[in-house]
Structures are given as structure tokens and as C-alpha cells.
Amino acid sequence: MKRVVHVIELQEGNFRLAPEEIIYVREGDRIRFISGSRKNATLRPLLLTDRKIKRKLYAGSGEEIKAIGRYLKEDLHHRYKIIAGQLDREGYWIADKTFKYIGPISMQMIFCREDEDYYHVESFGRAEKIIVEPSGVNLNSLNMMSVFPRCIGTIDKWPRFFLHQASLGYNAFHFPPLQKLGWSNSYYSIEDQHQLNPQLFPLEEKHRYDALDSFVKDFNHRRILFFTDIVLNHTSTTSDWLKDDPDAAYNV
């Protein structure tokens, strides 16, 4: 389940999410985090976020606090970017964060006491992952994965696979050719440039492109892109047009 938000609520340190729900925000969005907890009155709430960034992309390190105890401040500030926030008059913890980059970013609320050198963590919430999507399409905004369709099965199995990959931060996917293949069954030995591969699209021929179009449009609405190779010169020896014009297989 996907939710695009501009305010994110936490209760007792946990993000208020439905099962399997993933939060999506846009690159450049300024998001307000609001946490209600009785612990706010006696402990200091802190929101930990990934510090790791690669090539101006959030790297989604997945590190999290897993036990109460004493943590050296210097170490915690090295591992995380810490958002201190502030309490309003009603005791709610509030913090604003601008997401400058794209990719998956982990966030976790902790409640602690502190002295000069240590955070004494007495409670913490579940770590959650937020996906930051590009505000526009450009090469620096793409996290791309190449996918071999035979490894994931027929098109009816694709949505579940790609939704999972998108939850990891991928927003673009590359396919080898999807057309009908020749006797070698190689992606780059195409028998019919006009037909989609019936092994991937087990439908009547007239419905195959409609199925692909529907799939791509659904994911485009989620700001997920697909690319495929167009290889007109990679042709199987069983191709009809080579049978009609065998000299087309040779260059002068």
C-alpha cells in the first residue's frame, strides 16, 4: 500500500502505518513529523535518520537501535543524522525535515536521557523506511535495476515483484527485448519484432500489448519507469523477414 504524505504521525515512537504500508515523499518535500507520547514529558525524543548518502542518493543503510542502554553520543552522531525537534504547548514533539535527495531512508524514534557524553536510551520505536521519489525525471534521479523477465514469470506476477523492488528504492527498471523469440530462446534473437513473447504474455495475441500497456501505466502513476532494448538487427534465423530477404543478414 502506498501513501504520499506531508505530515507523518508517530504514536509512542512508532509510525502510524497500516500493515505493509510504505510512505512515499517527493524530492524537495518538507515533511512535518508529529509524535504524541507520555514519554515526551520525562524523556527526550530524538528521530534518527540515515546519514549515509552515495552520489547524492539516500543509501538506506537499515541501521537501527535494537536495545535499550547507553550509547556514546559521538558514535550515534557518526552513524545517524539526529533530528532533535521541539515540544509544543500540548506536549507533542514536532520536527520538520526537507528531503534533499532520492532513495530509501530509514527513520527511528528513540526516547532517552542524556549527559555530557552519552544518550541513555530507555525506549525506542520500530525503524521504518521512507521512499523519496524524484520530483522530475533526470538521470541523476534514477535508481535502475535490469530485470530478466523469465526469472519473475508471466506478466500477472510482475506487479508484486516490482512493488517490492520499488519499496527498496528502485524507481526505474530495464528489460531486455520482450518480443517473440527464435529457436535459441535468447533475448537477443528475435523471431517476430511485432509480437510480444507468449511465454511472458500467455494471452491471445491481440490482448498482449493491452496487458503490457495497463501494467506500465499503473506503475507510471507511481512514478516508476520502464525501459527496454529495441534491437532491430538482433534477429533469429527463423524470422519471416529473413526468409523473405536472406541478404538482409549481411553487411557490405
Closest to 112 (Cα-Cα) out of 154, 143, 81, 67: 67
For range 81-109, the mean pLDDT: 90
pLDDT 10s digits, 133-188: 777 666 667 789 999 999 999 999 999 999 889 888 888 999 999 999 999 999 88
Q: How far is CA 41 from the centre of its chain?
A: 36
| Domains of the chain by start residue, with CATH | 2-133 (2.60.40.3350), 142-249 (3.30.750.90)
Q: Percent of the chain beyond pLDDT 70?
A: 89
pLDDT 10s digits, 104-124: 888 999 999 999 999 999 999
The mean predicted confidence, pLDDT, of the chain is: 86
Does this model's pTM top 0.85? no
- Tell me how far apart the terminal alpha carbons of the chain are, to the nearest angstrom: 56
pLDDT > 50? residue 2: no
